[in-house]
Amino acid sequence: MAVTKPACRSRSLCFTCSLLFVLLHQIVAKRELKFAVLVFRHGDRTPVENFPTDLHKESEWPQGFGQLTKTGMRQQHGLGQYTRKRYSKFLSDTYNRKQVYIQSTDYDRTLMSAQTYLAGLFPPIGNQIWNPRILWQPIPVHTRPRSADKMLHFPIPNCPRYDELQNETQASSELQNRIQPYLDFLQNLAVNSGYEIDILKTVGNFKIWNTYDTLLCESIHNYTLPEWATKDFMDKMEKLTELSLLSLFGIYKTEEKSRLQGGVLVNDILKNIKKAANPSNKRKLRIYSAHDTTIGALQVALNIFNGKLPPYSACQFFELYQESSGQYSIEMYYQNDTSKDPYLLTLPGCTPACPLEKFAELVSPVLVEDWSKACGNKDIMRVWKVQA
């Protein structure tokens, strides 16, 4: 039997009905998650190198330097499980290649981190179980050779202008004023580590960073530390390592550095977010497995860097929402402790739920169309453009 609308007895009643319908629609309509981008650091690894006076050699580490450990595998698997929980109502229960894309730098530790992460995110269920004794399924992880990776491996090499900026940064008062309080400490570090003092004063060359990192790895895995590696000594090294990371992408002429470094990744993320706002888009999740320098470069470019070293499995989230009004907004989160929910971040000049158009406008100063030209590369064979 057909259902007919009751006729409105008066214009006032019709208006009231219409108003109630609009209000009810606004209550029912909810903002909807449409797309997410995740950029994470690999899990726990062995040192990448030893310093001249190091007590331990590469042969003492399973698989050698720079390799993912079993602890790192567990960290990444846990991050994958967290992602599954966070997006349980957004992602399909089973792996769908049209929904998810993951890219890694060409390092064993990042490729393995991506694989263990995916094992936590998409354990096979139902008809995706190919062996009941192995609750794992192969999922493609895409990568590029290191020499061709100009998006995830930072600092991006072969950029003469960036090299100039780094030399200027090292000589700048902005950096030297921060190094000054540590000069006596650097002298002690030179004696203890075996490095020349002039090498250590150049904080952007990774020597302080790698020395601190090596000692940290040894401490985490219960290797014997030298007597001079006291807590106070390690704390000072950590501060200098944080300064080293910041000097790579900030402190001096940060905006121009970001156009040549972290802004390249910002551009790629924004490009994919804009694609996701298209109703025909089927992709739901894009994931990047990379390094602490990747997160540092990205966050400095967005002016959301907290000055701390990104720990193992740290993850930067970008989430695209369609509001009840139909407009799109971006929310950013940062997880630097896998036991806690991520922190909500706000792009300077915007609200936590930043309208997509406003987000694009605010990040535009760190985007560049022709990266090779901005770098001052004259070799036509090395021209590489970042598509807007």
Q: What are the catalytic residues? A: 42, 292
Q: Cβ–Cβ contacts within 10 Å for residue 54, how many?
A: 18
**How far apart, in whole angstroms, are the C-alpha atoms of residue 72 and residue 313?**
8
Helices (H), 29-106: 70-86
Residue 209 to residues 144, 154, 185, 198, Cα–Cα distance (Å): 26, 15, 15, 15
146 closest CA partner among 96, 105, 109: 105
> Which two structure tokens, joined as six digits, stand for 275?
């694609």
216 CB-near residues (< 8 Å, 6+ apart): 234
Other C-beta atoms closer than 10 Å to the C-beta of 371 total: 22
At 38 the three-state DSSP class reads: strand
Other C-beta atoms closer than 10 Å to the C-beta of 3 total 4
At residue 214, what is the residue type? T
